[in-house]
Protein backbone atom coordinates (compact mmCIF):
# COMPACT_ATOMS: atom_id res chain seq x y z
CA UNK A 1 0.00 0.00 0.00
CA UNK A 2 1.42 3.35 -1.03
CA UNK A 3 1.40 6.33 1.27
CA UNK A 4 -0.60 9.41 0.37
CA UNK A 5 2.63 11.27 -0.39
CA UNK A 6 3.75 8.50 -2.78
CA UNK A 7 0.38 8.65 -4.55
CA UNK A 8 0.67 12.43 -4.86
CA UNK A 9 4.22 12.12 -6.23
CA UNK A 10 3.04 9.69 -8.92
CA UNK A 11 0.28 12.14 -9.89
CA UNK A 12 2.70 15.07 -9.97
CA UNK A 13 5.10 13.10 -12.18
CA UNK A 14 2.26 12.26 -14.56
CA UNK A 15 1.24 15.92 -14.84
CA UNK A 16 4.87 17.00 -15.32
CA UNK A 17 5.18 14.50 -18.17
CA UNK A 18 1.97 15.82 -19.75
CA UNK A 19 3.27 19.37 -19.30
CA UNK A 20 6.56 18.56 -21.03
CA UNK A 21 4.79 16.85 -23.95
CA UNK A 22 2.32 19.69 -24.44
CA UNK A 23 4.64 22.61 -23.78
CA UNK A 24 2.08 24.01 -21.34
CA UNK A 25 2.61 24.85 -17.68
CA UNK A 26 0.26 22.28 -16.12
CA UNK A 27 -0.40 21.77 -12.44
CA UNK A 28 -2.65 19.65 -10.25
CA UNK A 29 -5.72 21.48 -8.97
CA UNK A 30 -5.06 20.65 -5.32
CA UNK A 31 -8.41 21.91 -4.08
CA UNK A 32 -10.20 19.51 -6.43
CA UNK A 33 -8.47 16.28 -5.38
CA UNK A 34 -10.74 13.56 -4.06
CA UNK A 35 -9.48 11.05 -1.50
CA UNK A 36 -10.99 7.58 -1.63
CA UNK A 37 -10.08 4.36 0.22
CA UNK A 38 -8.64 2.93 -3.02
CA UNK A 39 -6.59 5.98 -4.02
CA UNK A 40 -6.81 9.62 -4.99
CA UNK A 41 -8.53 11.30 -7.90
CA UNK A 42 -6.73 14.24 -9.44
CA UNK A 43 -7.65 17.01 -11.85
CA UNK A 44 -5.18 19.30 -13.56
CA UNK A 45 -5.15 22.34 -15.77
CA UNK A 46 -2.87 25.20 -16.73
CA UNK A 47 -1.22 27.24 -14.02
CA UNK A 48 -2.94 30.35 -15.40
CA UNK A 49 -6.40 28.79 -15.02
CA UNK A 50 -5.55 27.65 -11.49
CA UNK A 51 -4.58 31.21 -10.56
CA UNK A 52 -7.54 32.99 -12.17
CA UNK A 53 -10.32 30.35 -12.23
CA UNK A 54 -11.58 32.39 -15.15
CA UNK A 55 -13.38 30.22 -17.71
CA UNK A 56 -11.69 32.24 -20.47
CA UNK A 57 -8.38 30.77 -19.25
CA UNK A 58 -9.74 27.21 -19.29
CA UNK A 59 -8.56 26.40 -22.80
CA UNK A 60 -7.01 23.00 -22.10
CA UNK A 61 -8.65 20.04 -23.86
CA UNK A 62 -8.19 16.38 -23.01
CA UNK A 63 -7.15 16.87 -19.41
CA UNK A 64 -9.16 13.98 -18.07
CA UNK A 65 -9.26 13.43 -14.33
CA UNK A 66 -7.35 10.37 -13.19
CA UNK A 67 -7.00 8.01 -10.25
CA UNK A 68 -3.74 6.87 -8.73
CA UNK A 69 -4.52 3.57 -7.03
CA UNK A 70 -2.86 3.33 -3.65
CA UNK A 71 -2.49 -0.45 -3.87
CA UNK A 72 -0.08 -0.36 -6.81
CA UNK A 73 0.42 3.21 -8.10
CA UNK A 74 -1.46 2.49 -11.31
CA UNK A 75 -2.90 5.53 -13.09
CA UNK A 76 -6.40 5.14 -14.50
CA UNK A 77 -7.75 7.89 -16.71
CA UNK A 78 -11.36 8.93 -16.62
CA UNK A 79 -13.17 10.51 -19.54
CA UNK A 80 -14.15 14.10 -20.11
CA UNK A 81 -17.63 13.68 -21.60
CA UNK A 82 -19.50 13.33 -18.32
CA UNK A 83 -19.40 14.63 -14.78
CA UNK A 84 -16.69 13.11 -12.59
CA UNK A 85 -19.30 11.47 -10.35
CA UNK A 86 -20.27 9.21 -13.26
CA UNK A 87 -16.72 7.94 -13.68
CA UNK A 88 -16.27 7.45 -9.94
CA UNK A 89 -19.48 5.42 -9.80
CA UNK A 90 -18.42 3.29 -12.78
CA UNK A 91 -14.95 2.72 -11.32
CA UNK A 92 -16.34 1.77 -7.92
CA UNK A 93 -18.76 -0.67 -9.60
CA UNK A 94 -15.83 -2.30 -11.39
CA UNK A 95 -16.95 -1.17 -14.84
CA UNK A 96 -14.25 1.43 -15.50
CA UNK A 97 -11.88 1.33 -17.35
CA UNK A 98 -13.07 -1.97 -18.84
CA UNK A 99 -16.14 -0.50 -20.53
CA UNK A 100 -16.52 -1.21 -24.26
CA UNK A 101 -15.30 1.67 -26.40
CA UNK A 102 -16.48 2.58 -29.87
CA UNK A 103 -13.02 1.64 -31.14
CA UNK A 104 -13.64 -1.91 -29.85
CA UNK A 105 -16.38 -2.33 -32.44
CA UNK A 106 -14.56 -0.97 -35.48
- The pTM of the full predicted model, rounded to 2 decimals, is 0.85
Q: Where are the domains of the chain?
A: 4-99
**CA-CA distance, 28 to 72, in Å (whole number)?**
20
Q: Which long-range contacts (CB under 8 A, 24 or more apart) does 25-33 make?
A: 26/60, 26/63
| pLDDT of 104 higher than 60 | no
pLDDT in tens, 8-57: 999 999 999 999 998 889 999 999 999 999 999 999 999 887 888 777 76
Confidence (pLDDT) at 12: 98
Amino acid sequence: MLTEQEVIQIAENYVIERSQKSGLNLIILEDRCIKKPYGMIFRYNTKKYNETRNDDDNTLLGNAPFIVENSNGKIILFGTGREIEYYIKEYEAGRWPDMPRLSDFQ
